[in-house]
Chain A
Amino acid sequence: DQQVKQNSPSLSVQEGRISILNCDYTNSMFDYFLWYKKYPAEGPTFLISISSIKDKNEDGRFTVFLNKSAKHLSLHIVPSQPGDSAVYFCAATPTTSGTYKYIFGTGTRLKVLA
């Protein structure tokens, strides 16, 4: 059972435009969500997170939106840059469980075209 889903395996965007990556989850116990960026053969790099008490968090070019009723979050990157080309994973965790377990989505490969 895939509790966190990223239904788009890949996305191509022109440089300077907005990239929108989507993530859906099924477990209503999840209350903390994160986005990681990963280059090949490297570890995931933390980008941005959001707690379920918020519906938006912004950090520079990156904004994460959370729609709890739809169990959906999205990552907006604007403007997109060629260096943003990577695989993006969303992750979710139920912080109140105390288990420290993240559930990762399957990833979306973003390609920013120059």
Chain B
Amino acid sequence: DTEVTQTPKHLVMGMTNKKSLKCEQHMGHRAMYWYKQKAKKPPELMFVYSYEKLSINESVPSRFSPECPNSSLLNLHLHALQPEDSALYLCASSQPGAGGTDTQYFGPGTRLTVL
């Protein structure tokens, strides 16, 4: 089973709203990722959690706040977003150091629209 689930599938929010995106995996993976993807562009890495600790923050604005409550869950808290933050937000997971390779498995994404 290589399933990563994400909720909600779609989200529309105003610039003053606070919302959260959720991601879950039950593959026992210990690395989890948030990516942002705009239309016709490749996924852009935002954050990496390794063993529930934030290991990479790709200079993401503070209006995006990640959280990893446990090894299966990853949240992305959103506050005071801008219309240009509208995109597909992807979660991925992998097992670090698995034989020297590290395949990331992606969830279906949350389509976020900021009005």
Measuring CB to CB, which residues of chain A are less than 8 angstroms from any residue of chain B? 32, 34, 36, 41-46, 49, 51, 89, 93, 95, 98-102, 104-107
Smallest Cβ distance from B29 to chain A, in angstroms? 11
Q: Are B100 and A46 in contact (CB under 8 A)?
A: no
Q: Are B102 and A42 in contact (CB under 8 A)?
A: no
Q: Are A102 and B107 in contact (CB under 8 A)?
A: no
Q: Are A43 and B48 in contact (CB under 8 A)?
A: no
Q: Are B106 and A45 in contact (CB under 8 A)?
A: yes
Interface residues of B in 33-49 (CB under 8 A from A): 33, 40-43, 45, 48
Measuring CB to CB, which residues of chain B are less than 8 angstroms from any residue of chain A? 2, 4, 6, 31, 33, 40-43, 45, 48, 50, 55-56, 88, 90, 92, 94, 96, 100-109, 111
Other than the given A41-B109, A43-B109, A100-B55, 6 more pairs (CB < 8 A) read A43-B108, A44-B90, A46-B105, A51-B100, A105-B42, A106-B42
Smallest Cβ distance from B107 to chain A, in angstroms? 5
Smallest Cβ distance from A6 to chain B, in angstroms? 9
Chain B residues within 8 Å of A36, by CB? 106
Q: Are A100 and B33 in contact (CB under 8 A)?
A: yes
Q: Are A49 and B103 in contact (CB under 8 A)?
A: yes
Which residue of the partner chain, among B50, B88, B96, B103, contacts A46 with CB atoms under 8 Å?
A: B103
**Which partner residue on chain B sits nearest A9 by CB separation?**
B40
Smallest Cβ distance from A88 to chain B, in angstroms? 11
